[in-house]
Amino acid sequence: MRELMKNSRWFGFTGRICAGFSLLLAGLVAASCSFDPVFHEISTQSAPRSNIIPGSPGNMVVTAQADRLYAWTRRGRDVWFFGFHEGQGWRWGALPRPGEHLGGLAAVGNDLFALVYSDVSIPPGSSSIIRYNTAYSRWDPVFSNPHFAIQSLHYAGDRLFAAAYRRTDLNHHYILSFDPTHSSHPDPVIKQGNYTIALSGVTETAGGDIYLATERAGIFRFDEGLYEGLLTERTPDAAPPAFVVTGIIATGDDIVVAGATANGGALHIFRGGLGSPPEISHHSEFFNGGMGVWRRHAAASGWQPALLLLGVRTNGRFHGYREIELLPNGNVAPSPILWEPGSLGADSSVNSVTLYRGSIRHRSVRHIRQAPPLYDTNAGEEPVSLFPDMTVEGNAGWQPPIFASTSINGLWVYDSSTDRWGEEDNRRSW
């Protein structure tokens, strides 16, 4: 009995020690989560979700009818659309598969076009441009040429543009132009040269001018032909490029050209078009080429441009996107600064820089755009709009979703009601 009591006192003593140690360990863990940046970062990260558009999504396009936003995945087979579904709200659906591997999407008027490949080899197999036939819910052929391998598909105004090269000469590249409203055949080749003329973007100004950005051969204005514009940092073909263009966008009266240099990214802002030398700024981030205008609601004037969003990558593990302030007319603000999302407070595309850092900052963003002012055109005389009347009670503070195509992690979406970025799992109804 004496031995048993002694053992009981021993176990009680050791139990108190273990309990105290457990409390101390718990306190240390809690403190580490509060003060250690690694633990703090983990605590702010978004919970992973199943992504309905996985892989490497490409650009997102909208037809003139403005009832759907279309998305696709590189080398995938599905074309997705974000539109109004009766009884379900604004959600993602899918078109009939084109039957081949996707290489691009473009929209001219109410028509949706796709670049497709017969296989996913490099260089790819036969390439062709097809059009979605809404009357019969099918894809119809538009253009193919056994001598050309089409690399990318772009659009502006009422025209399609394609970058291509000859199968017999991989160093001989072309820019092709189409007017799909009149003919299924391309116009005469509007530019040819070596790999430096590969198209990296096409944009249209408010005045109807179309500009084509090539990776290393300059910016050109299209007017049933091409005229060279002003891009100051051009280099001879044999020399390493000082500035490789990755994207172009017209906003207001300005044109913004994004690209990469040997040491980081650079922005060329042409005030009022390509008629004057650009304002050039250099940054540590590399610009992937994805650019989109973000709109904010103002009580007096409704929805108006507020920010230019730019997808980036870095040499580290944090990427995401950046913001540049725009004036209400869409022009880039004077002396623009590259902001991390959330840094501008109420003027930013997200509310919390902490939640941004715990989510899409860990992904390289290749394309980004706020959902445009879509309408349900089947709703009769008063179509349902994705952009609601902000004067109605309950709509204050609401923002349309922002969609981002990441390099390998699928399509992501920002939900203003939760202030969270995350994989698009199609579980929300806007």
Tell me the DSSP string of 246-262: EEEEEETTEEEEEEEET
pLDDT category at 423 given cuts 50, 70, 90 is: very high
Assigned domain for 136 exists? yes
Phi, psi angle pair for 42, to nearest 5°? -60, -40
Q: Note whether 297 and 187 are same-domain residues.
A: no
Residue 412 has pLDDT above 80, yes or no: yes
Q: Is the pLDDT of residue 218 over 70?
A: yes
Residue 184 has pLDDT above 80, yes or no: no
pLDDT at 24: 46
Query: Is residue 7 situated within a structural domain?
Result: no
Strands (E), 14-100: 61-62, 69-72, 79-85, 89-94
In this predicted structure, what is the pLDDT of residue 9?
Answer: 46
Residue 43, domain member (yes or no): no
Average pLDDT over all residues of the chain: 81
Number of folded domains that form the chain: 2
pLDDT tens readout for residues 308-318: 999 999 988 89
Q: Is residue 405 part of a domain?
A: yes
> Is residue 26 a part of any domain in this protein?
no
Cα(371)–Cα(430) distance, rounded to whole angstroms? 11
pLDDT at 231 over 70: no
Given this model, what pLDDT does residue 226 score? 57
pLDDT at residue 124 in the model: 65
Q: Is the pLDDT of residue 272 over 70?
A: yes
321-325/302-313 β-pairing = antiparallel
We report the CATH number of the domain holding residue 132 as 2.130.10.120
Model confidence band, residue 25 (pLDDT cutoffs 50, 70, 90): very low
Q: Which of 193, 222, 250 is the C-terminal boundary of a domain?
A: 193
Handedness of CA 142, 70, 108, 268 (dihedral sign): negative
Residues 399 and 292 in one domain: yes
The two beta strands, 199-204 and 210-214, are antiparallel
Over range 268-292, report the average pLDDT: 89
**360-398 pLDDT per residue, tens:** 999 999 999 998 878 776 655 566 677 766 555 556 667
Give the residue from 172, 193, 214 where a domain finishes: 193
Average pLDDT over residues 408-422: 92
389 in a domain, yes or no? yes
Q: What is the per-residue pLDDT for 236?
A: 39
Boundaries of domain holding 315: 284-430
Whose CA is closest to 154, among 95, 196, 113, 206? Answer: 113
Q: Which of 141, 169, 193 is the last residue of a domain?
A: 193
Do 163 and 295 share a domain, yes or no? no
Residue 3 in domain: no
The 3-state secondary structure of 145-177 reads: CCCEEEEEEEEECCEEEEEEEECCEEEEEEEEE
Which of 96-105, 119-128, 152-161, 163-172 comes out lowest in average pLDDT?
A: 119-128
Q: What's the CA gap between 186 and 199, in Å, rounded?
A: 16
Q: Which residues of 232-245 are buried (b: 16+ CB within 10 A; e: fewer)?
A: ebbeeeeeebebbb
pTM for this prediction? 0.84
The two counts, helices (H) then strands (E), for the chain are 3, 29
Output the six-digit token pair for 309.
């969003």
122 pLDDT band, cuts 50/70/90, is low
**Is 62 in the same domain as 188?**
yes
**Alpha carbons 250 and 256: distance in angstroms, whole number:** 6
- The DSSP secondary-structure symbol of 298 reads E
Mean pLDDT, to the nearest integer, of 12-17?
48
Q: Are 310 and 187 in a shared domain? A: no
pLDDT 10s digits, 333-364: 999 999 999 999 989 999 999 999 999 999 99
pLDDT at 411: 96
For residue range 27-76, list pLDDT tens digits in order. Answer: 544 444 444 444 444 444 555 567 889 999 999 999 888 788 999 999 89
* Selected residue with higher pLDDT from 389 and 86: 86
Closest CA to 286 of 256, 325, 248, 316: 316
Shared domain for 189 and 293, answered yes or no, is: no
241 assigned to some structural domain: no
What does each C-alpha distance from 145 to 148, 165, 175, 298 come to in angstroms? 6, 11, 14, 50
**Interval 149-174 mean pLDDT:** 88
